[in-house]
Amino acid sequence: MSESVTAELPATRPIAASFPPGHGGLTREQVSELRSVMNEDRMTQGGIGYVKGNNFDSRIRSGQVQWIMRNEIDPRIYSHLFTLASVANRERNWNFEIDGMAHALQATRYSGEASEHYDWHMDWGGGKLGFRKISAVAHLTEESDFAGGSLQLTNGSFPVQAAQAAGTVTVFPSFVMHRVTPVTAGCRLAVVAWVLGPSFR
């Protein structure tokens, strides 16, 4: 894919960039492929941060996750997401030093049956999380298939709500606070990719 793609969120909101279908987002076929490898038997409770031992707290994060390895999907999906992150890195003037993608994607599922959610958090932090520079969330569910479940981001003032049509990719620095509000009906599916680089100094 060409890097002539342009991020859609106004430059006055530099905390994120949005790539909808037809303007850099995933194709319908790519969305279908990612959904096809999501497997109920491989889903586990989503944890919090990178710590050893018990890092589960349903008050902060509920919902299921599954790791999708590179050899499970068309490698062009990985390169596509990396290109979008590179475009956002340039257009938003983050200018982070980046090396490449994390070895796996994290598929997420939030169900309305239990009002599943993920409260305010960062993807960046201690340990291995310190190498995460950019997060990319690929939305896999049509908005009409669920209620609630908004991806919101904030830089400390007012939250920005991401567009979530299936195929839309939302890209932001991994240290930006964000959340998924409780899903109140249906099921919300997404895949998260991380672009890595040297630790911030």
Domain assignment present for residue 44? The answer is no
Judged against a pLDDT cut of 80, whether residue 12 lies above it is answered with: no
Q: Are 166 and 21 in contact (CB under 8 A)?
A: yes
**pTM beyond cutoff 0.75:** yes
49 within a domain of the structure (yes/no): no
Instruction: Specify the pLDDT at position 8.
Output: 58
How many structural domains compose the chain?
Answer: 1
Within a domain: residue 128?
yes
φ, ψ for residue 132, nearest 5 deg: -75, 125
Quick check: is 2 in a domain?
no
Does 12 map to a domain? no
SS3 of the chain: CCCCCCCCCCCCCCCCEEECCCCCCCCHHHHHHHHHCCCHHHCEECCCCCCCCCCCCCCCECCEEEEEEHHHCCHHHHHHHHHHHHHHHHHCCCCCCCCEECCEEEEEEEEHHHCCCEEEECCCCCHHHHHEEEEEEEECCCHHHEEECCEEEECCCCCEECCCCCCCEEEEECCCEEEECCEEEEEEEEEEEEEECCCCC
pLDDT digits (tens, 9 = 90+) for 116-151: 999 999 999 888 899 999 999 999 999 999 999 999
C-beta atoms surrounding 184 within 10 Å: 14
Residue span of the structural domain in which 154 resides: 17-39+61-196
Question: Beta-carbon neighbour count of residue 40 at 10 Å?
Answer: 8
Whether 45 maps to a domain, the answer reads: no
Task: Report d(CA 165, CA 140) in Å as an integer.
Answer: 8
Instruction: Please choose, from the candidates 153, 113, 104, the residue with its C-alpha nearest in 3D space to the C-alpha of residue 132.
Output: 104
Task: Output the domain CATH number for residue 157.
Answer: 2.60.120.620
Q: Tens digits of per-residue pLDDT, 44-85?
A: 999 887 665 568 888 999 999 999 999 999 999 999 999 999
Residues above pLDDT 70, as percent of the chain: 91
Rounded Cα distance, 68 and 65, in Å: 10
